[in-house]
């Protein structure tokens, strides 16, 4: 039992921290908000060209690094801490989604595209208001050898700069996964301005998009959609932990400088106790996030079943979602008046925490998932994973 990073993971963490500290300040994040796709593509090129983060969970057969969710979590925590305007999450969840689809030339090509730094975005839901299969709006119909897709998806991370979209569409009301080139006729991708200004989101509209039979990566993707969302929740939690940790750090820096009544406000017990509560939440969320990342890796190895993954994802969605919102909100409070100005960065973290808290389901919805596992009859649980 060694519930701590290996030497390699620690080195990855340190190098990511160093790189982003130097190249991904909040000024970079603020500037990217005004770029067409809401992304800093030159920063992304630097990352894909020299660091290879986009390829972390791409299998080695497809020119990836073949590493796991723990390594991804290490990176996403750091990019979350810097609000880095790069499609790291988008690439990661797409690669993980593709890993759970059967091998085919299309699938392998997409994994290679991700490894080479091309952006592939998962377009799975319209989220009105459900994030799971109930939110899938796109429908696919088969005509002779072709597929025809129509409908819309929102909250497509990195979508406005994507070369390829992984579109979840209903085939006879069952979710299926399609590969759709972003520049294909009938595909419209529009950058979406969000309350959180620094995490790129897009809307995708498909109008009679006609694709060959090889575009269907897998039919009957319902169970995999559900597990892909659980993996996504683990990745989001890593960003949340990074966001919360950085918000705590910048708040500590501020209260150590600010003087009132002839002393730094950091010396007031009321402030110290809030800071202690912030750390309690961050460290607790971090412990669960590391567990959830290990569980995700175990799931990828077939060592645990879907239910265990779902439980881990729901636990960390509840914990990290609440932690990031509490810590960034308390961060604004401890900044006092300047906390609500545009100039100070704490507001960016607060907005990010708000966005991530509701992305893929609120913390209370995650707790309801746990309640179902604990309190309801086994019949209402998901089917156990096939051997």
Partner 1 sequence: MQLEFSREDEQFRGQVADWLRDNLCGAFEVIRGRGGPGDEHHFVEERKDWERCLAEGGWTCIGWPEEWGGRGASIEQQVIFNEEYARAGGPGRMGHIGETLTGPTLLAFGSDDQKRRFLPDIRSGQSFWCQGYSEPAAGSDLSNIKTRAEWDDQAAVWRFYGQKVWTSLAHESDFIFVLARTDPAERGHRGLGFFLVPLAQEGIDIRPINQLTGTAEFNEVFFDGAVCGADDLVGEAGDGWRVAMGLLGFERGVSTLGQQMLFQVELDEVVRLAKLNGAGQQPALRQRIAEAHIGLRTLRYNSLRMLSGEQDGSLSREAMIYKLAWSSWHRNLGKLAMDVLGPDAELVESGPYELNRLQSLFLFTRADTIYGGTNQIQRNLIAERALGMPREPRGDQ
Residues that bind partner 1 (CB under 8 A): 1-6, 9, 70, 252, 255-256, 263-264, 266-267, 269, 271-273, 275-277, 279-280, 283-284, 287-288, 290-291, 293-294, 315, 318-319, 364, 367-371, 374-375
Q: Which is nearer to partner 1, 147 or 326 (CB)?
A: 326
Question: Of all helices (H) and strands (E), which one includes residue 322?
Answer: helix 306-335
- Shortest Å distance, C-beta 3 to partner 1: 4
Give me the DSSP letters along 3-62.
-S--HHHHHHHHHHHHHHHHH--HHHHHHHTTSTTSS-HHHHHHIIIII-GGGTTS-GGG
- Shortest Å distance, C-beta 78 to partner 1: 17
Q: Which is nearer to partner 1, 41 or 65 (CB)?
A: 65
253 Cβ neighbours under 8 A, 6+ residues apart: none
Residues 313-332: b if buried by 16+ CB within 10 A, e if exposed? bbbbbbbbbbbbbbbbbbbb
Q: Which is nearer to partner 1, 189 or 360 (CB)?
A: 360
Q: Which is nearer to partner 1, 86 or 312 (CB)?
A: 312
- Shortest Å distance, C-beta 253 to partner 1: 11
Q: Which is nearer to partner 1, 185 or 374 (CB)?
A: 374
CA distance 276 to 267: 13
Strands 259-260 and 263-264, by their bridges, are antiparallel
Residue with tokens 């002779």: 144
Q: Which is nearer to partner 1, 128 or 272 (CB)?
A: 272
- Shortest Å distance, C-beta 227 to partner 1: 20
- Shortest Å distance, C-beta 123 to partner 1: 30
Strands 164-171 and 120-123, by their bridges, are parallel
- Shortest Å distance, C-beta 283 to partner 1: 5
């Amino acid at each position: 039992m060694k519930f701590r990073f290996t030497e390699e993971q620690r080195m990855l963490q340190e190098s990511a921290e160093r790189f982003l500290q130097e190249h991904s300040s909040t000024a970079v994040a603020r500037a990217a908000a005004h770029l067409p796709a809401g992304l800093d593509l030159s920063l992304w090129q630097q990352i894909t060209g020299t660091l290879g983060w986009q390829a972390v969970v791409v299998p080695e057969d497809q020119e990836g690094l073949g590493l796991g969710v723990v390594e991804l979590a290490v990176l996403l925590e750091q990019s979350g801490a810097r609000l880095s305007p790069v499609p790291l999450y988008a690439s990661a969840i797409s690669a993980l989604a593709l890993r759970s689809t059967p091998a085919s030339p299309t699938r392998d090509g997409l994994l290679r595209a991700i490894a080479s730094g091309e952006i592939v975005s998962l377009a799975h839901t319209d989220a009105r208001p459900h994030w799971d299969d109930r939110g899938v709006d796109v429908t696919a119909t088969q005509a002779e050898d072709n597929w025809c897709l129509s409908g819309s998806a929102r909250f497509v991370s990195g979508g406005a700069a994507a070369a390829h979209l992984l579109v979840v569409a209903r085939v006879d009301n069952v979710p299926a996964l399609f590969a759709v080139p972003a520049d294909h006729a009938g595909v419209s991708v529009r950058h979406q301005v969000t309350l959180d200004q620094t995490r790129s989101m897009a809307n995708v509209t498909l109008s009679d998009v006609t694709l060959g039979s090889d575009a269907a990566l897998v039919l009957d993707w319902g169970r995999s959609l559900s597990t892909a969302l659980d993996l996504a929740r683990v990745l989001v939690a890593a960003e949340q932990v990074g966001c919360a940790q950085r918000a705590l750090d910048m708040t500590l820096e501020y209260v150590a400088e600010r003087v009132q009544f002839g002393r730094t406000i950091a010396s007031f017990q009321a402030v110290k106790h809030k800071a202690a509560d912030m750390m309690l939440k961050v460290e607790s969320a971090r412990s669960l996030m590391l567990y959830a990342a290990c569980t995700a890796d175990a799931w990828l190895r077939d060592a645990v079943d879907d239910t265990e993954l779902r439980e881990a994802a729901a636990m960390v969605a509840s914990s990290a979602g609440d932690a990031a919102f509490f810590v960034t909100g308390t961060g604004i409070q401890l900044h006092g008046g300047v906390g609500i100005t545009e100039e100070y960065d704490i507001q960016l973290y607060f907005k990010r925490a708000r966005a991530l808290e509701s992305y893929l389901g609120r913390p209370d919805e995650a707790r309801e998932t746990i309640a179902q596992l604990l309190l309801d009859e086994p019949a209402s649980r998901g089917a156990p994973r096939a051997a």
